[in-house]
């Protein structure tokens, strides 16, 4: 069991089955759950892919009580983190985007960020090897399976990662409440860019701000400067997507 992670919840398990990029050892389904369309889909997918599923008593779920498992868990190989160099080598022939997380600590936030990035077409998420929440069961659940659709890149040093990106003709945008420019003053449609979002409380670290090509803010109303990091990301990254879609139509 040691080499497997646990993912839980109907959506997480379904998405992992569909993505098929991680080995699934076994799926456990509670005897007590109502077999709805989602559960049937999981069974169908498992059969199709030759993956074992077992109906088990609720006592098997006792270790996972703290999670909203919906009566379904799967034993799955841990996600594979990518190295930045490998990501850059596989880069497609178009303008790409990355989101760099500088010390995001909350699993719910990381899960929501992963979902937002997949929906907005971001090409990868960079997290530091330390000082950041890692991809755990809660992150997988909150991401609603999005984790299987985007590479997670681990970097020992974000400063080095930013330098590598700059050396490869990427532009670095950092989000900071004290910036002069608003996030929509930047043109995102004619460059590879990496957007740095900071920790929930501390924001983006000074050294990364200094290394950035652009520092942008969201114009906060009501003197209330306390937007959740995933919601702040959403505002900025969908503006970048808006610009790219409009630009592609021209």
Work out which of 7, 16, 72, 144 binds a copy of itself, going by CB under 8 A. Answer: 144
Closest contact distance (angstroms) between CB of 246 and a copy of itself is 8
Full strand arrangement of the beta sheet holding 124-128: 152-155, 124-128, 97-102, 192-198, 170-175, 214-217, 181-182
Q: Is 146 a binder of a copy of itself (CB under 8 A)?
A: yes
Closest contact distance (angstroms) between CB of 182 and a copy of itself is 8
Q: Which is nearer to a copy of itself, 52 or 235 (CB)?
A: 235
Closest contact distance (angstroms) between CB of 180 and a copy of itself is 14
**What's the rounded Cα separation, in Å, for the pair 245 and 126?**
24
Q: Is 50 a binder of a copy of itself (CB under 8 A)?
A: no
Neighbour tally for 156: CB within 10 Å = 11
Best CA proximity match to 5, nearest among 136, 147, 130, 142: 136
Instruction: Please answer whether residues 191 and 95 qualify as being in contact, where contact means their C-beta atoms are separated by less than 8 angstroms.
Output: yes
Work out which of 72, 120, 179, 196 binds a copy of itself, going by CB under 8 A. Answer: 120
Site residue total, a copy of itself (CB under 8 A): 37
Work out which of 26, 60, 149, 166 binds a copy of itself, going by CB under 8 A. Answer: 149
> Interaction with a copy of itself in 60-119: which residues (CB under 8 A)?
108, 112, 115-116, 118-119
Q: Is 241 a binder of a copy of itself (CB under 8 A)?
A: yes
Q: Which is nearer to a copy of itself, 28 or 144 (CB)?
A: 144
Neighbour tally for 68: CB within 10 Å = 11
Q: Is 247 a binder of a copy of itself (CB under 8 A)?
A: no
Sign of CA dihedral 234, 240, 243, 249: negative
Residue by residue, what is the 3-state secondary structure of 21-52? CCCEEEEEEECCCCCCHHHHHHHHHHHHHCCC
Give residue 65's Cα distance to chain centre: 24
Q: Give residues in contact with a copy of itself (CB under 8 A).
A: 11, 108, 112, 115-116, 118-121, 144-146, 149-150, 182, 184, 218-222, 224-228, 230-235, 238-239, 241-242, 245
């Amino acid at each position: 069991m040691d080499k497997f992670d646990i993912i839980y919840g109907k959506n997480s398990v379904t998405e992992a089955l569909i993505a098929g990029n991680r080995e699934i050892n076994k799926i456990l389904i509670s005897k007590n759950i109502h077999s709805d369309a989602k559960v049937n889909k999981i069974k169908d997918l498992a059969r199709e892919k030759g993956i074992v599923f077992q109906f088990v008593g609720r006592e098997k779920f006792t270790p996972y009580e703290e999670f909203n498992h919906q009566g379904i868990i799967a034993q799955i190989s841990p996600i594979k983190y990518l190295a930045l160099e490998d990501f850059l080598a596989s880069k497609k022939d178009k303008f790409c985007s990355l989101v760099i997380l500088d010390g995001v600590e909350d699993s719910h936030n990381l899960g929501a960020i992963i979902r937002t990035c997949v929906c907005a077409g971001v090409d990868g998420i960079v997290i530091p090897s330390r000082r950041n929440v890692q991809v755990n069961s809660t992150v997988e659940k909150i991401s609603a399976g999005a984790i299987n659709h985007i590479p997670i890149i681990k970097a020992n040093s974000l400063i080095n990662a930013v330098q590598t990106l700059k050396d490869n003709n990427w532009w670095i945008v950092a989000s900071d409440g004290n910036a002069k420019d608003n996030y929509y003053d930047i043109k995102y449609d004619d460059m590879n860019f990496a957007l740095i979002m900071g920790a929930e409380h501390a924001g983006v670290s000074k050294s990364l701000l200094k290394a950035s090509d652009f520092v942008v803010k969201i114009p906060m109303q009501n003197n209330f400067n306390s937007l959740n990091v995933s919601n702040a990301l959403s505002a900025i990254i969908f503006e970048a997507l808006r610009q790219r879609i409009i630009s592609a139509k021209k």
